[in-house]
Amino acid sequence: MNYFVWNNFISTFKTKTYLSYHDFHYNHISRNILLNRINCCCLMYKHTNSEVVFDVKEKYLNISYAYDFHDIEFHWTKESVKMSELNLSQSKKILTLSPLWSCKEFEDKKELIKLNNFVQNKKNKIISIFSAAFGTPGAFNDLNSHLSFLRFIKKLLMYRNDIFLFFKPKYETDLLEKYPNLHELFKSLSEKKNFKVIKKITSKNLISFSNLTISMPFVSTTAEAISSGQKAFWADTNNNFPNSAYMNIEKLVANSESSALDLVNYWLTISNEKFRYFLNNEIKDRLPLNFNNEAAEKIRSIISFNIRN
């Protein structure tokens, strides 16, 4: 069936470029073979950072991502590129490209104003906190991890009165009613005057508005923040992933509650000069930086080139 759908498509349209997003279904192979027949360039953008949970091993092979077949694959990190190669990718090129949603063009002034209105004391440091998924297939942070993460937030609010926290959960908060301990903890946080649950405002605007971004392991928002030149780290407060690929970058992953609290202090007080050094010497060779619209412009330039030629 897939063959007939795409064979009919190329009989009707003369497509120069086909851009897919997080496209790993095996049907993409036959589709791209047919698109290549009309000299269509097939691009695939991978939007995830979850692979940093694991070590990159020589014998690693994930059948769900095996034998990718594109003209160009775009990945966030060198670790992701390596994993694609170990998954026996058949693509012609595999390139690194910073997260698209970290591009400056996705900022929304109206959303930034709305966030500013939530904060009564303008002298407070703003911290955006992002949870991982919970209760869904493929979620790799369990109940204890979410409990530990919320306890860390509660302790952070106890220790500091100079901060305002925006919390964006990656789950419907009604789900927590099934888990009394988690629900009670979340409810107590929601009653704090310097804690605000955010659902509809985009992660990009939360990151841009904040002095610091903290994510559960290994939610993409920390990578998005760092690549756009914003301070951020992952809080693996239960040390569930001691061998993650980024544990060897100092100050990027906290593996306990106490180290997470220490990293909050560190990132809120570090000088801009030291932070630039961190970006240039620890980050940019593994995750491309995207201070403006570099990621979007790179993809647009490739598409424009194919259209002209």
Query: Would you say residue 41 lies in a domain?
Result: yes
Pair (132, 79) in one structural domain: no
pLDDT of residue 244: 83
Pair (83, 109) in one structural domain: no
Query: Would you say residue 180 lies in a domain?
Result: yes
201-249 pLDDT, tens digit each: 999 999 999 999 999 998 999 999 999 999 999 999 999 988 888 888 9
Query: Would you say residue 309 lies in a domain?
Result: no
Pair (175, 152) in one structural domain: yes
Pair (83, 44) in one structural domain: yes
Last residue of a domain, one of 62, 96, 130: 96
DSSP, collapsed to helix, strand or coil, labels residue 165 as strand
| Distance between CA atoms of residues 179 and 91, nearest Å | 44
261-291 pLDDT, tens digit each: 999 999 999 999 999 999 999 999 989 998 8
Domain count, the chain: 2
Q: Could you tell me the pLDDT band of residue 190, with boundaries at 50, 70 and 90?
A: very high
Pair (84, 221) in one structural domain: no
Pair (72, 119) in one structural domain: no
Q: Which domain holds residue 135?
A: 104-283
User: Which single residue is written with the structure tokens 């297939």?
Assistant: 137
Between the CA of residue 37 and those of 11, 25, 33, 70, what are the distances in Å? 11, 20, 7, 13
| Distance between CA atoms of residues 17 and 24, nearest Å | 18
**Contact, 164 vs 194, CB < 8 A?**
yes
Query: Would you say residue 293 lies in a domain?
Result: no
| Distance between CA atoms of residues 183 and 223, nearest Å | 28
